[in-house]
Amino acid sequence: MTDLLPDTETPDALETVGAHGDDHAHGIDESVLRRLAASWPRRATVRTDLTEITDPDTGDYDAALPDYPERLLPFAEHPLWLAATPEQRRTVQTLAWLVYNERVIAAEEYVANPTFAMIMHGVFPGADGVHTKRAVQQTHVDEVWHTYMHMVAMQRTRELREVTAEPAYPHTVTYRRLLEAEAKVSEKWERDLLKLVWTTVSEISVNAYLELLSRDETVQPLHALVPRLHARDESAHSSVMVEVAKGLYTHLNKEQQRAFVTALPEALNAFVAQDFAVWPGILKHAGFERADEIVEDCRRAAGHNLLVRDFSGIRRIVREMELTELVDFDFGAE
Ligand SMILES: [Fe+2]
Ligand SMILES: [Fe+2]
Q: Which segment of 19-23, 84-88, 191-195, 196-200 scores lowest on mean pLDDT?
A: 19-23
Per-residue pLDDT of 262-293, as tens digits, reads 999 999 999 999 999 999 999 999 999 999 99
pLDDT band at 58 (very low <50, low <70, confident <90, very high): low
Res. 205: pLDDT tops 60 = yes
Give the Å distance between the CA of 121 and the centre of ligand 2: 18
User: Considering Cα of 95, then 149, then 175, then 32, what sign does the dihedral take?
Assistant: positive
Res. 107: pLDDT tops 60 = yes
Give the Å distance between the CA of 285 and the centre of ligand 2: 32
How far is the C-alpha of 317 from the C-alpha of 201, rounded, in Å?
Answer: 7
Angle 253-259-262 from CA coordinates, rounded to 5°: 140
Domain regions of the chain by residue span: 78-320
Neighbours of ion ligand 2 (CB under 5 A): 203, 234, 237
Res. 247: pLDDT tops 80 = yes
How far is the C-alpha of 186 from the C-alpha of 159, rounded, in Å?
Answer: 44
Domain over 78-320 is classified CATH 3.30.310.50: no
Nearest to 99 by CA among 201, 171, 159, 204: 171
pTM score of the predicted model: 0.88
Res. 34: pLDDT tops 90 = yes
User: Considering Cα of 220, then 233, then 174, then 299, what sign does the dihedral take?
Assistant: positive
Give the Å distance between the CA of 191 and the centre of ligand 1: 22
